Amino acid sequence: MALQYTVDDISAVPEALRGEYAARDGKFFLNVDGVVPKERLDEFRNNNIAFKKENDDLKKMYEGVDVERYRTMTEREQKIAEKKLIDAGEVDKLVDLRVAAMKTEHDKVLATLSASDAAKGKQLESLLIDNALLDVASKSGVRPTAMDDVLLRGRQTFRLHEGKATAFKGDEQQFGKDSNPLTMADWLGGLKESAPHLFAASSGGNTPKQGAGGVGGSNTMTRAQYDALAPGERAAAVRGKTLVD
């Protein structure tokens, strides 16, 4: 049978393969690298469709418009309006109009600079968070092929606060079991429990050796031996065997 990437009830999965699933957010996810949830693909596709429609609508709205000619006509109308005010002796109104125009232009420039500064600040924040995550993740045994997944999850959790990478859930800062701010190492420790497929298998003494009859050459396998195997090795290792405590 084909394995489902997501299941609501783990009992629907053959018992020998249940260890290939990790619980997360009330569901069970198959431990595989490189898979993107359908919800993310749908969101990406819908955003692209909306962006394309908005772009097409703008093109249609300004189709046939000569921007340079429009600018020239606008400047000419402005000069005509100013001349009328001068001829009528309404210099104060003319000054007010020019001051308003200057203020509008100033506000546009200021908004552009503010947006640019915000974008640069966001880029710097992302760079600092990513570098810190890469450093801690490499020391925590994250698989090289899973780094992108860990970075994506980390960016959704950490942001700069008072110059430090700080964990948040929504607008609330997250704290560890010791009531201190949640560190990246603590966060990765929790991730190791909820998504063990992102981490390299332990090479400790509990790792079983392959023999002629499979793991240990017997027809049984302990839970510790099973958990010590890499996710991709588990299905083959338990074939024809009985899991025991």
Residue 228: inside a domain = yes
What pLDDT is recorded for position 187?
A: 92
Judged against a pLDDT cut of 60, whether residue 75 lies above it is answered with yes
Pick the last residue of a domain from 11, 31, 58. 58
Look up residue 155 and give its two tokens.
């960016």
The set of residues, in sequence order, having a beta carbon less than 8 Å from that of 190 and lying 6+ positions away, is none
Percent of the chain with pLDDT over 70: 80
Half-sphere exposure of residue 180: CA atoms within 13 angstroms, side-chain side: 6
Query: Is 0.75 topped by the overall pTM?
Result: no
Residue 10: inside a domain = yes
Residue 4: inside a domain = yes
Contact 150, 142 (CB under 8 A): yes
Q: What's the pLDDT band for 175 if we cut at 50, 70, 90?
A: very high
What pLDDT is recorded for position 235?
A: 66
Q: What's the pLDDT band for 241 if we cut at 50, 70, 90?
A: low
Residue 77: inside a domain = no
Residue 29: inside a domain = yes
Mean pLDDT computed over 187-207: 77
Mind listing the pLDDT tens digit for each residue in 206-233?
444 444 344 444 567 676 776 777 766 6
Diameter over CA atoms, the chain: 106
- In the chain, how many domains are there? 2
CA dihedral 60, 66, 67, 73 (to 10 degrees): -130
Residue 49: inside a domain = yes
Pick the last residue of a domain from 31, 58, 85. 58
3-state helix, strand, coil in the chain (%, to 5): 60, 15, 25
Residue 26: inside a domain = yes
23 is in which domain, residue-wise? 1-58
Residue 89: inside a domain = no
